[in-house]
Amino acid sequence: MGIEAVAPTCDELFVQAAKALLSILAGQGRAFGDVQERTIEVTAGDMEELLVVWLNELLFMIQARGLWPLDMAVVRIHAGALEVRLRVVPLAANPEREIKAVTYHHLLVTHRHGQWRARVYLDL
């Protein structure tokens, strides 16, 4: 199973890819409790790797820490570094589907004709 995302900016591409991952995990999500703020910061050698590291970190936050993102905003993205601010709530139930990892298989991040595109595959 894979994710494809298209956006006018790199920031929005990373958010759209994350939203696609969330929809695969649990559709609308099942969360309750007080809203908390979290920041995820990741680094990588290039944009492709940065996307995989970001999505895997988000996956870890959901599956290991039991926190579901309500919304997110890219604070900065440049030179192999990404910082995202999230509003999260505790999960009320396990996600509908387990995803083991976001993989590097056929990984693609491109910027052409004013459009950013990404493709990643998931290990289920």
32: pLDDT strictly greater than 80: no
First-to-last C-alpha distance (Å) of the chain: 8
* Predicted local confidence at residue 33, as pLDDT: 84
| Strand pairing report for 36-43 and 81-90 | antiparallel
This model's pTM is above 0.85: yes
Greater model confidence, 74 or 91 = 74
Closest CA to 20 of 77, 60, 58, 46: 58
Q: Would you kindly state where each structural domain of the chain is located, as residue ranges?
A: 2-123
* Predicted local confidence at residue 27, as pLDDT: 56
For the segment(s) 2-123, the CATH number from 3.55.10.10, 3.60.15.10, 3.40.50.300, 3.40.50.1820 is 3.55.10.10
